[in-house]
Amino acid sequence: MNIERYAAIDIGSNAVRVLISNVVVSPGTQPKYMKSSLVRVPIRLGQDSFTVGEISPRNIKRMVKAMKAFKLIMKVNNVKKYMACATSALREANNASEVIKEVKKKTGIEIQVIDGKREAEIIATTNIFESINKNRTFLFIDVGGGSTEFSVLVKGERVVSKSFKVGTVRMINNMVSEKVWEEIKVWVETHTKHHTKLALLGSGGNINKLFKIAKVKEGRPLSMIKLNQLYNELNQLDYNERILQWELNPDRSDVIIPATQIYLKALQWSGASEIFVPKIGLSDGMIKVLYRENN
């Protein structure tokens, strides 16, 4: 048996995180991907990028500190290879190259800025159907702080996908126009109307948290009725009350509301009545990409 350790650094719009995973390989069997540790730092780059167009000096310093910490974490875990990917917040920042150079200079970590299509491709490498019926048709939705990726999956294959500039950080800053919502509505309706018994697949920290709050068993779906109930209960509370009563992290307490709105709209537009929540995301896909590239 051979065990290799890889790390994925996900630089998102709402937070920055590093995932350490073990890849266990035995002769004659498929590799097993086992999460070892996850560290998440609430650096909201999207607040800078989407409102003023660049990452602030304060958050550049915080980024450098986080990357130094991540480098030490990778070192003590004997990580073989790492991958660092940044999504919409850094992609849209006017000073992205400056941030990347500063991080490289101070920490040695190289950051790749990826577009929505590449992000969807990386997520698609994960074993989404480990506990879900592969033969169903799904509308897969990955909600981020700056963008949301939509894909239609038929028998496990992605047949069409599109990334839209709608995300939780944009929404709490009132930066999503009615025109964008209409574009998403038309896209979803156009690409789902010919499919019967369609369900949603949700990815991202917010839907995972909602799934946990709802106490749904793994492999079972979260119903639209239950999701709408959770939304109404959360929306009746203010920011502080959600932290205290629902034990939400401060940087989750505000964005969970717009994230839920996105999923509810997608359920309505697609005609689906339930949403499955596999425990996968960009970081998990990055680990698989790293392993395949090195083997």
Res 128 pLDDT > 80? no
Q: What is the pLDDT of residue 130?
A: 63
pTM of the full predicted structure?
Answer: 0.91
- Do 255 and 241 lie in one domain? The reply is yes
Q: What is the pLDDT of residue 278?
A: 87
From first CA to last CA, the distance across the chain in angstroms is 15
Tell me, yes or no, whether 92 lies in a domain.
Answer: yes
Enclosing domain of residue 13: 2-116+284-294
Tell me, yes or no, whether 21 lies in a domain.
Answer: yes
pLDDT mean across residues, the chain: 94
- Do 29 and 151 lie in one domain? The reply is no
Res 131 pLDDT > 70? no
CATH code of 27's domain: 3.30.420.40
Tell me, yes or no, whether 122 lies in a domain.
Answer: no
Highest-pLDDT range among 110-119, 122-131, 152-161, 247-256: 247-256
Q: What is the pLDDT of residue 219?
A: 82
Cα 173 from chain centroid? 19
Q: What is the pLDDT of residue 212?
A: 94
Q: What percent of the chain has pLDDT over 90?
A: 83
Tell me, yes or no, whether 123 lies in a domain.
Answer: no
Tell me, yes or no, whether 56 lies in a domain.
Answer: yes
Strands lying side by side in the sheet with 2-11: 32-41, 16-25, 2-11, 81-86, 112-113
- Do 172 and 211 lie in one domain? The reply is yes
- Do 93 and 67 lie in one domain? The reply is yes
Q: Give phi and psi for 39, each to the nearest 5.
A: -120, 130
Q: How confident is the model at residue 295 (pLDDT cuts 50, 70, 90)?
A: confident
- Do 157 and 248 lie in one domain? The reply is yes
- Do 149 and 272 lie in one domain? The reply is yes
Res 195 pLDDT > 80? yes
- Do 252 and 166 lie in one domain? The reply is yes
Tell me, yes or no, whether 155 lies in a domain.
Answer: yes
CATH code of 135's domain: 3.30.420.150
- Do 108 and 173 lie in one domain? The reply is no
Q: Give phi and psi for 48, each to the nearest 5.
A: -75, -55
Q: Which two tokens stand for residue 201?
A: 């697949």
Task: Output the CA torsion 85→4→36→138 (10° steps).
Answer: 60
Residue entry with tokens 């068993």: 217
- Do 264 and 150 lie in one domain? The reply is yes
- State mean pLDDT over 35-58: 96
- Do 83 and 10 lie in one domain? The reply is yes
Q: How confident is the model at residue 129 (pLDDT cuts 50, 70, 90)?
A: low
- Do 102 and 137 lie in one domain? The reply is no
Tell me, yes or no, whether 121 lies in a domain.
Answer: no
Q: What percent of the chain has pLDDT over 70?
A: 98
82-120 pLDDT, tens per residue? 999 999 999 999 999 999 999 999 999 999 999 988 887
Beta strands in 64-103 (DSSP E): 81-86
Tell me, yes or no, whether 251 lies in a domain.
Answer: yes
* Count of domains for the chain: 2
- Do 133 and 249 lie in one domain? The reply is yes
7-40 pLDDT, tens per residue? 999 999 999 999 999 999 888 888 999 999 999 9
